[in-house]
Amino acid sequence: MPRTVALIVATDPGVGFTGSKYLELFHGVPMLEQVVAEAGEWPVDEVVVVLGPDADEIIEGADFGEATIVIDPEWKEGISASMRVGIDLLSRGPVTDRIVVALGDQPGVDAGTVDAMLDKKSAAVVPKYRYRRGWPVVLSSELWDLLLGLEGPADLHDVLESHAGGVEELWLEGLGPPRMLDPSDFPPR
């Protein structure tokens, strides 16, 4: 039976936060806890969270439920390092066919969107919100070698553009859920 894992990347430290941005309250709970809870509602078999800076503080301050936590010691390199850490972990466990790469600073991704993306059978599927590609991104295991070879601050969307198999887009109405990049992005308390 095909196995799918949500890989939540929470390694961007953000700007202007007094503590970890992932512990900033979003509707009364730490933002990363909200993202992990939402991922638990997606049609996936497991949730893996990749942490970078402030990992100890984040682990103490958020409830990850049954999610697996892995720490990326090279998080300063960007998402390519975090992808390597997550994919390396998954390649050592039960056979996983696809991963749903989500961002730990983007709450609000609903299960229906992920389900529609997983219905596609391409090597890579990205949502397209009003003419703009967004997150999460679904990747099949056939792309893992390419992603394990990434170095430096590679943008995943740009890497996928160069993939010979192409990228399938799932067009969605409206704007995608916003990323919480600085304190002003959060709803008022």
Task: Give the closest residue to 91 by CA, choosing from 16, 23, 145.
Answer: 145
CB 86 within 8 A of CB 7: yes
Taking 80 as the threshold, does the pLDDT of residue 89 lie above it? Answer: yes
DSSP for 92-148, written as a single string: TSS---EEEEEETT-TT--HHHHHHHHH--SSEEEEEETTEE-S-EEEEGGGHHHHH
Q: Of 12 and 150, which is predicted with more confidence?
A: 12
pLDDT band of 1, cuts 50, 70, 90: low
pLDDT band of 156, cuts 50, 70, 90: confident
* pLDDT tens, position by position, 117-128: 999 989 999 999
* pLDDT tens, position by position, 65-75: 999 999 999 99
Taking 90 as the threshold, does the pLDDT of residue 148 lie above it? Answer: no
Cα separation of 142 and 175, whole Å? 30
At residue 164, the pLDDT reads 64
Angle (CA) 15 18 24, round 5°: 85
Q: Dmax over Cα atoms in the chain, in whole Å?
A: 46
Task: Give the closest residue to 147 by CA, choosing from 40, 38, 50.
Answer: 50
CB 150 within 8 A of CB 101: no
At residue 79, the pLDDT reads 86
Phi, psi of 129 (to 5 degrees): -105, 115
Contacts by residues 92-96 (CB-CB < 8 Å, ≥ 24 positions apart): 94/3, 95/3, 96/3, 96/4, 96/5, 96/45, 96/141
Residue-range domains of the chain with CATH: 4-176 (3.90.550.10)
Residue identified by tokens 């391409």 is 122
Cα separation of 156 and 56, whole Å? 27
Taking 90 as the threshold, does the pLDDT of residue 115 lie above it? Answer: yes
Mean pLDDT of 139-143: 91
* pLDDT tens, position by position, 29-54: 999 999 999 999 999 999 999 999 99
